Structure 1
Amino acid sequence: MSPSLVVFGAAFPDWLFCIAGGVLATTAIHVVLGRYAVRERIAPLALSYPALAGLLAMLLWLAVFHP
């Protein structure tokens, strides 16, 4: 059995929810960093944000779905 969640009768893999959560958390961090003008310190953004999204997705998986 693959780890999955049933939503409205369809089975979705748990990593799909973790990626969505990581992207949403990264978006929230982006807004907060923009508000405090700290965004320039984490340049290049094209590398920083995907790495942050991946890290947050993996941490979410560890916190919620890891046995």
Structure 2
Amino acid sequence: MPPGSTIHSRRAVCMACAASLLLQGCAVSPSIAVVGAYFPGWLFCIVAGVVLAILTFLALKRVSHDRLLGPPALVYPTLVTFFSLIAWLIFFQH
């Protein structure tokens, strides 16, 4: 065995173990059956995030507080992301 090969083989074993641990998240696919077709769960979470952001916009517009948030091009995509991630945590937490 050439010198240093044990270091490379240990590193390869450690990388293989790390890869197998990271792939454990791929064991269950969060899919939702809708009329016989399976859709990914993140798609529904994004739709929920967009709907909740629109409802937030309408509620703030109704009470005239929509100008207090800042630039809408930055705030509303952030709200969509926030609501989508919250929906993911609520509905797909295993």
TM-score exceeds 0.5 = yes
Displacement of 1:62 after TM fit?
0.2
Rg larger in structure: 2
Bigger RCO of structures 1 and 2 (CA < 8 A, at least 6 apart): 1
Opposite residue 63 of structure 2, the aligned amino acid is: Y
- The equivalent position to 1:3 in structure 2, one of 8, 25, 30, is 30
**Equivalent residue number for residue 66 of structure 1:** 93
Q: What is the aligned length?
A: 67
CA distance in 1, matches of 2:30, 2:63: 39
Opposite residue 62 of structure 2, the aligned amino acid is: R
> Which secondary structure does the structure 2 equivalent of 1:59 belong to?
helix
Q: Which structure 1 residue ranges, 4+ long, deviate > 2 Å from structure 2?
A: none
Q: Calculate the TM-score normalised by the size of structure 2.
A: 0.69
Opposite residue 29 of structure 2, the aligned amino acid is: S
Structure 1 residues without counterparts, runs of 5 or longer: none
Structure 2 residues without counterparts, runs of 5 or longer: 1-27
